[in-house]
Structure 1
Amino acid sequence: MNGERVGEWGTLRGARTPFFRYEKSWANSPHGRALSLSLPVTADREVRGPAVEYYFDNLLPDSAELRSRIRTRFKTRSSDAFDLLTAIGRDCVGAVQLLPPNDEPLGWDRVDAAPLTEEEVERTLREVTVATPLTHEAQDDFRISLAGAQEKTALLHMAGQWFRPRHATPTTHILKLPLGIIGGFRGDFSDSVENEWLCAQVLRELDLPVADAAIARFGEQRALVVTRFDRRWIGVGTAEVQKKRFKPRKGAWIARLPQEDLCQAMGLPHILRYEADGGPSIAEALGLLANSEHPVRDQTNFLLAQLAFWLLAATDGHGKNFSLHHRSGGTYGLTPLYDVLSAWPIIGHGKNQLALEQAKLAMSLRGRRAYYRLSEIAGRHWQELAQRTAVPGLWNRMQSFVESASAALECVEKRLPRAFPEHVYASSRDGVLCQVRRFAQTIGPSAT
């Protein structure tokens, strides 16, 4: 982690029990901290069992198809997490770098990268979905592991130009491709790039922390460019980095910032990321955030995010789409939001559409039972949630939040990019405003 050896991950001989053993030097380091809330630094500095397996497995894409493609491209023995991360674990989400025992992350404190032309970036994006094996040279330059279900890659951006990092230099931006046709009902998310950009802008207008995102085109390839909040330039200001004449000087480098998603923090496999399958619930997430460095702020933002997901019909707010920053000394906090996508553009009763009655949140609102469906959740359920959680000032914040939604949409509309797909904005706007009205009309009489 940023040049320091954290520990060893492996499997006990004669058994299939995974283990992680922290280095003594890391446990005593001023930068030392646990990799995960589920992998504490114990007296003997060793953790065994499923939590170890799940932590590392969650560094990989969720999709079996994407994992199979990685196996083919890097010619790994299997699709197991250990084999895949042996091949692509040099640049993971968060601060972890996975290397063979005798390898050192040479050059972690300097910037080593090859410049890319727009045509080369276009080719890189086009090849993301290709399952053919990479050349040895390409493998050395492309050992990146990105979690999630979407087709994506990552690159370094500085001096107004794109670069492919080499050796221990990390990436700074994630480039996400359009989702296309997904789900059993074959919903058309070909405009997912614009959709996710729109959601991020609305969340920002509503004062929720969210990852910076921009729409970019490289030749025929369209991508959402997301600035990584698990990366930070050291020894140089962010504004200077993007000046066209910038060249990294000695002492300027990119730090990897430790983080983990809620499935990792709770010791759960990626297949249990949805609450309905046994994954993190609102109550369990609030329990983790109660011990964060800023509990009231983090719990408030988490709950307002759930409310925003209801407004936006963002149905994928599962345990892997919330993460925690880990800081030295054992403190942690909620990261900005990411991967928020509205279902409003595909909600309806036509072909390849999802009926509103079928659309569900990833985490339920609990009352007499668990409420998942957008159509059955009303203002009173949010009111009851605010009263039950007892987060100071939450109900007032929720009401103000919903009341601000219309103005937030108007602000975003004024800066829509040219040729932005009209149906994405119009359907999202109409859906949000419908939820705003429903919220106001269904608040209980005890509201204050």
Structure 2
Amino acid sequence: MQATPLEKLRVYLRGEYVGALTSDSGTLSFAYDGAYCEKKDAPKLSVSLPIQKETFSHHAAAPFFSGLLPDGDVRKHLAKHLKLSPENIFGLLEAVGGDCAGAVSLYKEHDLLNNTTNPTYKVLSDTEAAEILSSLNHRPFLVGEEGIRMSGAGAQDKLMVSFVGKKIALPTGQTPSTHIIKPPIKGAENSVQNEFFCMRLAQKIGLPAPDTKILYVDQNPYYCVTRYDRETNETGEVARLHQEDFCQALHIPPELKYENDSGPSLEACFNLLDQRIRSGSMPGKDKLTFLYGVIFNVLIGNGDAHAKNFSILYRNGAETLAPFYDLLCTEIYNKNGKFRMAMKIDGHYMPHTMSARNWKNFAASIGIAPSLMHKALRKVINDVSREATGLYLDLHSDTGTTSPVYEKIMGVIASNTQELELQLLTWDT
């Protein structure tokens, strides 16, 4: 019986060849290129895939590479369109792995990258843009479109684009995209305005968050965010920045992103940051920024703040906590009144069941003093209380951004703020 030949994809980081992903009848392995390993300070693909000459097994490689693909129903739709299994990581990346989150690109062995820096685009008419955006649930990432190979993590439909003037454009060939457009989430009324509000509020209180806008195409609203994993130099050339989400760094496959599914806990996420800080790769302040983000998600009622919605960003040999993204008040869509967070705080998924003691225990579990936890809670509460009303009024006064969802979000923030205030009152008892 003839053996099935090995399949290989060349893996690039910011356009530089770093190694090969191999599939042996679906069993993956990854090996860094020998010459790349010899380079001084060669960037690693992942915390979970450090530079080494030995080959990484399927168990080691699969979580990272699977994390470059969408998950949930989007992956199922993508796989169905390609007539592949959703578990066929190699086959899916072969089809769509040209423009992934961060700076990773995958190409067949004979599709060698060229060194041209001239970007190429397919500029869309308004009609074309409307047709594509309205049909993403049927054709994820425009799979099969000539010259387009894009992938995005997460369980939401989305389209990676650039803008040529004011026109939406699809990057072709090796051109990186600069923005992500997301249509409304089915079953989540006014999700576009919801995410826009929460992301703008994060910016208002000083949390790192990319620029966003509500984009109207054929009079329908779409959520549009500037990619933080892209940078433009002084000549206008767009380059990819490497990043990986916490699941990839923690060696967790994307289907296990929720703690309730044996995914990462907040303690594991903070421990990851502690490791990067102790290594000298990441500034210590990022741990406090992450804590602010956790508290912010509690206040806005974001029950989808799982480990794939936090990332490490790599730039010039240094690591930082990536800007926050996918911030959404999911609590307003909760039908049974039992809002749950994606990751527990001292054993609690439901913030309304917590006490001051739980916050103190949480502080101890992540290695910070109770007094610092108190200060962090007070700071985020004060900052959100100061900025939320003004943002609400500003967005309501603009016909391009007004939405009834803001009042619902404000109600959630008021309720959660009140609960946290009560917990702080008993801090010293």
Q: TM-score range by the shorter chain?
A: 0.7 to 0.9
Q: 8 Å contact 1:72–1:131 — kept in the other structure? A: no
Asked whether 1:305 is paired with 2:281, we answer no
Asked whether 1:429 is paired with 2:410, we answer yes
Pair 446,217 (structure 1): closer, same or farther in 2 beyond 3 Å? closer
Higher deviation after alignment, 75-84 or 16-25: 75-84
Q: In structure 2, what is the Cα distance between the partners aligned to 1:48 and 1:143?
A: 26
Alignment-derived partner of residue 38 in structure 1: 48
Q: 8 Å contact 1:38–1:51 — kept in the other structure? A: yes
Q: In structure 2, what is the Cα distance between the partners aligned to 1:66 and 1:434?
A: 33
Q: In structure 2, what is the Cα distance between the partners aligned to 1:126 and 1:153?
A: 11
Alignment-derived partner of residue 111 in structure 2: 103
Asked whether 1:154 is paired with 2:128, we answer no
Residues 304-343 of structure 1 correspond to what in structure 2 (within 5 A)?
A: 304-327=292-315, 329=317, 331-343=318-330
Q: Which residue identity is paired with 1:374?
A: P
Q: In structure 2, what is the Cα distance between the partners aligned to 1:46 and 1:108?
A: 31
Structure 2 regions of 5+ residues with no counterpart? 1-12
Q: 8 Å contact 1:4–1:26 — kept in the other structure? A: no
Asked whether 1:382 is paired with 2:353, we answer no
Pair 414,81 (structure 1): closer, same or farther in 2 beyond 3 Å? same
Q: Which residue identity is paired with 2:216?
A: R
Higher deviation after alignment, 254-263 or 291-300: 291-300
Q: 8 Å contact 2:99–2:149 — kept in the other structure? A: yes
Of 53, 68, 71, the residue aligned with 1:62 is 71
Structure 1 vs Structure 2: percent identity of aligned residues? Answer: 28
- State the 1:30 CA deviation: 5.4
Kindly report the root-mean-square deviation, in angstroms, between the aligned alpha carbons of the 2 structures: 2.5
Pair 77,429 (structure 1): closer, same or farther in 2 beyond 3 Å? closer
Q: In structure 1, what is the Cα distance between the partners aligned to 2:367 and 2:63?
A: 32
Pair 434,76 (structure 1): closer, same or farther in 2 beyond 3 Å? closer
Q: Which residue identity is paired with 2:418?
A: R
Residues 144-293 of structure 1 correspond to what in structure 2 (within 5 A)?
A: 144-181=150-187, 189-236=188-235, 252-290=236-274, 291-292=276-277, 293=281
Q: In structure 1, what is the Cα distance between the partners aligned to 2:119 and 2:137?
A: 28
Q: Which residue identity is paired with 1:260?
A: E
- State the 1:68 CA deviation: 3.2
Pair 31,171 (structure 1): closer, same or farther in 2 beyond 3 Å? farther
Alignment-derived partner of residue 354 in structure 1: 336
- State the 1:426 CA deviation: 1.0
Q: In structure 2, what is the Cα distance between the partners aligned to 1:24 and 1:384?
A: 47
Q: In structure 2, what is the Cα distance between the partners aligned to 1:134 and 1:311?
A: 36
Q: In structure 1, what is the Cα distance between the partners aligned to 2:412 and 2:178?
A: 34
Q: 8 Å contact 1:150–1:176 — kept in the other structure? A: yes
- Using the size of structure 2 for normalisation, the TM-score is 0.88
Q: In structure 2, what is the Cα distance between the partners aligned to 1:310 and 1:133?
A: 32
Structure 1 regions of 5+ residues with no counterpart? 182-188, 237-251, 348-352
Q: In structure 2, what is the Cα distance between the partners aligned to 1:235 and 1:403?
A: 38
Pair 133,429 (structure 1): closer, same or farther in 2 beyond 3 Å? closer
Q: 8 Å contact 2:104–2:242 — kept in the other structure? A: yes
Q: In structure 2, what is the Cα distance between the partners aligned to 1:233 and 1:133?
A: 24
Asked whether 1:371 is paired with 2:353, we answer no
Alignment-derived partner of residue 20 in structure 2: 8
Pair 79,390 (structure 1): closer, same or farther in 2 beyond 3 Å? closer
Alignment-derived partner of residue 249 in structure 1: none
Encode CA deviations 1:142-172: one digit per residue, 9 max, x unaligned: 3111111111111112433322111100111
- State the 1:16 CA deviation: 5.5
Q: Which residue identity is paired with 1:48?
A: S
Q: 8 Å contact 1:193–1:215 — kept in the other structure? A: yes
Q: In structure 1, what is the Cα distance between the partners aligned to 2:142 and 2:425?
A: 60
Q: In structure 2, what is the Cα distance between the partners aligned to 1:424 and 1:128?
A: 24
Q: Give the number of equivalent residue pairs.
A: 409
Q: Which residue identity is paired with 1:205?
A: K
Of 421, 424, 427, the residue aligned with 1:443 is 424
Q: 8 Å contact 1:214–1:225 — kept in the other structure? A: yes
